[in-house]
Amino acid sequence: MPTSPEERRAAILSMLDRATSVQVTQIAEAFGVSRVTVRADLDALARDGKLRRTHGGAVSLSKTLTVSVQERRINVNAEAKRSIARLAAPFVEDGDSVLVDSGTTALELVRAISGRAGVTVVTDDFTIADYVDRSAPSLDVITLGGSLRKGHRYTAGPLALRTLEMLHPDKAFVTPTSYVPGRGLMTNNQDMAELKRAFLACAERTFVLMDASKVSAPGLLWFGTLASAEAVIMDADPGDLVAADAAELGCRVIY
């Protein structure tokens, strides 16, 4: 049995040579180490470009035919996304219905609330729905349906909008592609812009989640302003650019 981190990581890569994917629990049991240790090993191997991290495990790069945009971004600004999720999670209470937008920051939020009781997660994101199904037995999930955007693992379009018209969740957590100061919340896909605009309007309370890298980043399509949100939850606000807009629009900034 491997004992050092180097031996363990080599053994993990050997496992991936024999299988398409491995799970954290599988590795922990095989090597007699904690899940925390396994996650650290997988993160190190992912940083070295030797495997691709997924929620709950990893897959071999050589045996992966397609990699979704979301999966490519799962390790980008990971600590910032976890920080945002920790700040957002207290707003979700037992018994809530919660609309959760697509993306890796949204996935971290669902992970952070996975121990809540009686929470229903409404989402357009297949990765989030799959996580709830596999790893969050105390949560329920409703998927919006609609047209799948290939390579992105989310749905949008008229059917998704029609489903959303029938729902009034307690809280909505919306994730923009970027934020343009003085302009507002942006994304890069027409169907997603329509859906995110509906997300801002459908819930009793609305929150925007975004990390600092989104501020002043490129974005083609406007879908709303912070006037539609109770708060924007961030890891940091570079130059207080978001706070300046939020103060004028009656929205709090939390970080």
**What is the radius of gyration, based on Cα positions, of the chain?**
19
Where are the chain's structural domains? 5-65, 78-254
Fold agreement between 5-65 and 78-254? no
What pLDDT is stored for residue 115 in this prediction? Answer: 93
What pLDDT is stored for residue 67 in this prediction? Answer: 47
Q: Where are the alpha helices (DSSP H) in the chain?
A: 5-18, 24-31, 35-47, 69-73, 78-88, 104-112, 126-135, 158-165, 190-202, 241-249
**Cβ count near 199 (within 10 Å):** 27
Q: pLDDT under 50 in the chain at which residues?
A: 65-67
What pLDDT is stored for residue 50 in this prediction? Answer: 81
- Record the pTM: 0.74
Smallest CA-to-CA distance from 136 within 103, 109, 154 is with 109
The residue written with tokens 């994730």 in the block is 175
Phi-psi map region of 234: left, alpha, beta (phi>0 left; psi -120 to 50 alpha) = beta
What pLDDT is stored for residue 35 in this prediction? Answer: 93
* CATH class (in words) of the domain with range 78-254: alpha beta
What pLDDT is stored for residue 65 in this prediction? Answer: 43
Q: How far apart are CA 123 and CA 56, in angstroms?
A: 20
What pLDDT is stored for residue 244 in this prediction? Answer: 97
Do the Cβ atoms of 124 and 146 come closer than 8 Å? Answer: yes
Do the Cβ atoms of 114 and 146 come closer than 8 Å? Answer: no
The residue written with tokens 């691709």 in the block is 52
Smallest CA-to-CA distance from 233 within 95, 54, 70, 112 is with 112
Residue-level length of the chain: 255
Amino acid identity of residue 221, one-letter, is L
The topology (CATH level 3) of 5-65 is Arc Repressor Mutant, subunit A (1.10.10)
What pLDDT is stored for residue 73 in this prediction? Answer: 58
